[in-house]
Structure 1
Amino acid sequence: MFKKSLLLLIVLTLISCHATKSPIVTTKKSAGKNSTYSSGNKKNTKDRNEVITSTSKTIVTSEVVSNYVAQFKDIAMSNMKNYGIPASIILAQGILESGAGRGDLAVSANNHFGIKCHSDWTGDSVKHDDDSSQECFRKYNKVAESYRDHALFLKGKVRYASLFELDKDDYEAWARGLRKAGYATDPKYPDKLISYIERYNLAQYDAQVLGNKYVSRESRNNTVTDRRLKNEEYYEVQKGDTLYSISKKYNVLIDDLKERNKLSDNTLFVGQKLKVN
Structure 2
Amino acid sequence: MIKKILLLLTIITLIGCNASKPVIVTTKKAPSKTNSEVVRTSKRTNSKSATANKSTASKTIKRNTKNSQTEVIVSTSKTIVTNDVIKLYVYQFKEIAMANMKQYGIPASIILAQGILESGAGRGDLATRSNNHFGIKCHAGWTGESVNHDDDAAQECFRKYDSPAESFQDHALFLTSRSRYAKLFEYTKGDYKAWARGLRAAGYATDPKYPDKLISYIDRYNLHQYDSKVLDINYVLSEDHLVEELTLESRNIGNALASYVVQKGDTLYSISKKFELKVEDLKQKNNLTDNTLSIGQRLVVN
Same fold (TM over 0.5): yes
Residue 87, structure 1, aligned to residue 108, structure 2: yes
Q: Contact (CA 8 Å) 1:77, 1:209: kept in 2 or not?
A: yes
Q: Contact (CA 8 Å) 1:101, 1:107: kept in 2 or not?
A: yes
Q: CA deviation at 1:47?
A: 1.5
Look up the equivalent residue of 2:73 and give its one-letter code: I
**Higher helix residue share:** 2
Q: CA deviation at 1:55?
A: 1.0
Q: Separation in 2 of the partners of 1:48 and 1:158? A: 40
Task: Please give the per-residue CA displacement for 1:199-222, whole angstroms capped at 9, x wherever unaligned.
Answer: 000001001101112499xxxxxx
TM-score by length of 2: 0.56
Where do residues 82-161 of structure 1 align in structure 2 (5 Å cutoff)? Answer: 82-161=103-182
Match of 1:240 in 2: none
Look up the equivalent residue of 2:91 and give its one-letter code: A
Where do residues 10-25 of structure 1 align in structure 2 (5 Å cutoff)? Answer: none
Residue 190, structure 1, aligned to residue 211, structure 2: yes
What CA RMSD, in Å, does the superposition of the two structures yield over aligned residues? 1.8
Q: Classify 1:164/1:199 alpha carbon distance in 2 versus 1 (closer, same or farther; 3 Å).
A: same
Q: Contact (CA 8 Å) 1:124, 1:139: kept in 2 or not?
A: yes
TM-score by length of 1: 0.61
Q: Separation in 2 of the partners of 1:207 and 1:185? A: 29
Task: Please give the per-residue CA displacement for 1:141-170, whole angstroms capped at 9, x wherever unaligned.
Answer: 010000000010000111100000100000
Which of 42, 51, 58 lines up with 2:79 in the alignment?
58
Which of 192, 210, 226 lines up with 1:205 in the alignment?
226
Choose 1 or 2 for highest CA Rg. Answer: 2
Q: Match of 2:168, SS?
A: helix
Q: Which runs of 5+ in 2 are unaligned?
A: 1-64, 238-302
Which of 144, 160, 168 lines up with 2:189 in the alignment?
168
Q: Separation in 2 of the partners of 1:82 and 1:101? A: 23
Aligned pair count? 174
Q: Separation in 2 of the partners of 1:99 and 1:169? A: 24
Q: Separation in 2 of the partners of 1:45 and 1:177? A: 36
Q: Which runs of 5+ in 1 are unaligned?
A: 1-43, 217-277
